[in-house]
Amino acid sequence: MFRKLLLFAVLMYAPQAGAYQLLGQSWSAPETDFYVDIPGADGLWNDAFEGAMAEWGYATSFQYYIFRGVYADPCRNYDGRNGVGFEATYCGYFWGSTVLAVTQSNFIDSILVETDIAFNSTEDWSVYSGPWQAWPSWIGVNDFRRVAVHELGHALGLGHEDRIPAIMATFAGNVELPLLDDIQGVTTLYGSISSDSDFDGIPDSVDNCPSVANPWQQDTDNDGVGDACDSSDTFNDVPPDYWAFSYIETLAASGITTGCGLNIYCPEDSVTRAQMAVFLERGMRGSGYTPNPGIGNIFLDVPASYWAVGWIERLSADGITTGCGFGNYCPENPVTREQMAVFLLRAKYGMDYAPPTPVGVFDDVVLSHWSAPWIEQLAAEGITTGCGNNNYCPKDSVTRDQMAVFLVRTFDL
């Protein structure tokens, strides 16, 4: 049985080994099948239920098999078929006010012989990932897939577990897949998966990092190697075959950047004017440079409490920028490619530098435009080749991967 989330705190107790709860019954072998033909939503419920079945097979030795397109009434006991479906009542009884689904099992002695799952059709359902959307106040849309994963845990013999994070918690919440405690419970009932070198419940044959326990199987850059083992690159979202890989790696090795989060670089995000100040000052002065604390009276929109105030005011003192107009700096605005041409050349040659007269290099940069001399000099020095088709795209925002190329080439990193 899965209930709506009352308090997320039920998932927040400190971990305890072997906290899983067992119902006292299990199948004679680590497998069973379900007859799945849930009407509605163009097959969404069937796909989600089959996916939920697969999650237990990925994580444990227990395997669910499917008879798709064959309906078995979840309210018809002892028909020899494991069924699933939506029901307006719990097989003739009223649904509890917080009940989302119920698993009913039949067994002989302690051996399961049939199990059926009924979902409360009076609730609102969808299929999604991420935070649970049906709380607070029990109003919203329930995720069918994670509730199915939970109920299938009951179907193989697991009870509720509220002492540590688990998919088998009494109340629905943000956990979507079997966690380590759930996996340990299934291992107690049916044994472990063969060849699980790191004992994380994922068989070596499908584990993306078989030498390091990583039951969540995170693989941020989708290169087939789990984040726990991925040492081929500094950032998990910049694989070796990424077009700007070598530039981003060089920027990181030079100490100019540590990325945008835990082992990620966010290469396609736009660079803000605040971030640019940090990039340029480190490029000019070295990775160990830290500016003096800012005073907050240079730009109206950069107070002393702003995280990059010292960097921005240093950039201003160096003559690299005079702001964005009207006494402001616009720190959260993205940097455009034409602005970046000016910033880079001033950072390289100093505040008094003036580029030569333009001659017409890019089709989308007219000679009379204010940024034409800067853009053409940037190209002349081999710092840019434009954005393709003999264009420079001067109004486009600079992305973090492009920024890496600009910085490495400008400062010869």
* pLDDT for residue 58 is more than 80: yes
DSSP 131: S
DSSP, collapsed to helix, strand or coil, labels residue 74 as coil
| Look-up of token digits 């090795």 | 253
pLDDT digits (tens, 9 = 90+) for 178-225: 998 999 999 999 887 666 777 776 777 677 888 777 777 877 667 777
Q: Mark which of 131, 166, 190 sits at the end of a domain.
A: 190
Residues 150 and 291 placed together within one structural domain of the fold: no
State which of 168, 190, 212 marks the end of a domain.
190
182 and 62 in one domain? yes
Instruction: Please give the model's pTM, rounded to 2 decimal places.
Output: 0.47
137 Rama class: left (phi>0) / alpha (psi -120 to 50) / beta: left
- Per-residue model confidence as pLDDT tens digits over 223-253: 777 777 765 568 888 887 889 988 998 898 8
Same domain for 41 and 176, yes or no, is yes
Q: Are 163 and 19 spatial neighbours (Cβ–Cβ below 8 Å)?
A: yes
Q: What's residue 59's pLDDT?
A: 86
The percentage of residues in the chain with a pLDDT greater than 70, rounded to a whole number, is: 90
Pick the closest to residue 132 from 14, 21, 2 (CA basis).
Answer: 2
Q: Closest Cα partner for 280 from 340, 323, 327?
A: 340
Q: How far apart are CA 130 and CA 152, in angstroms?
A: 20
User: Is residue 339 pLDDT above 80, yes or no?
Assistant: yes
Q: Is residue 113 part of a domain?
A: yes
Q: Quick check: is 254 in a domain?
A: no
pLDDT at 220: 67
Encoded tokens for 61: 């030795």
- Does residue 300 fall inside a structural domain? yes
CB 227, CB 235: distance < 8 Å: no
147-161, 205-219, 232-246, 393-407: lowest mean pLDDT where? 205-219
In angstroms, the Cα distances linking 301 to 179, 280, 308, 332 are 46, 20, 12, 10
Q: What is the mean pLDDT of the chain?
A: 87
227: Cβ–Cβ under 8 A, 6 or more apart, which residues? 209, 214, 218, 219, 220, 236, 263
Spatial separation of the C-alpha atoms in residues 375 and 175, rounded to whole Å: 50
Q: Are 295 and 154 in a shared domain?
A: no
Q: Are 246 and 235 in contact (CB under 8 A)?
A: no
CATH (domain of 172): 3.40.390.10
Q: What is the pLDDT of residue 23?
A: 84
**Ramachandran assignment for 60, one of left (phi > 0), alpha (psi -120 to 50 degrees), beta (any other):** beta
Is 215 a member of any domain?
no
pLDDT beyond 60 at 348: yes
16 and 145 share one domain: yes
Is 288 among the domain residues? Answer: yes
Domain extent at residue 393: 268-410
- At 193 the pLDDT is 67
**388 in the same domain as 297:** yes
Q: Which of 144, 161, 190 is the last residue of a domain?
A: 190
Q: pLDDT at position 287, please?
A: 86
Residue 277 included in any domain: yes
pLDDT of 342 higher than 90: yes
The answer to whether residue 195 is domain-embedded is no
Of the ranges 26-35, 98-107, 220-229, 283-292, which one carries the lowest mean pLDDT score?
Answer: 220-229
Domains in the chain: how many in total? 2
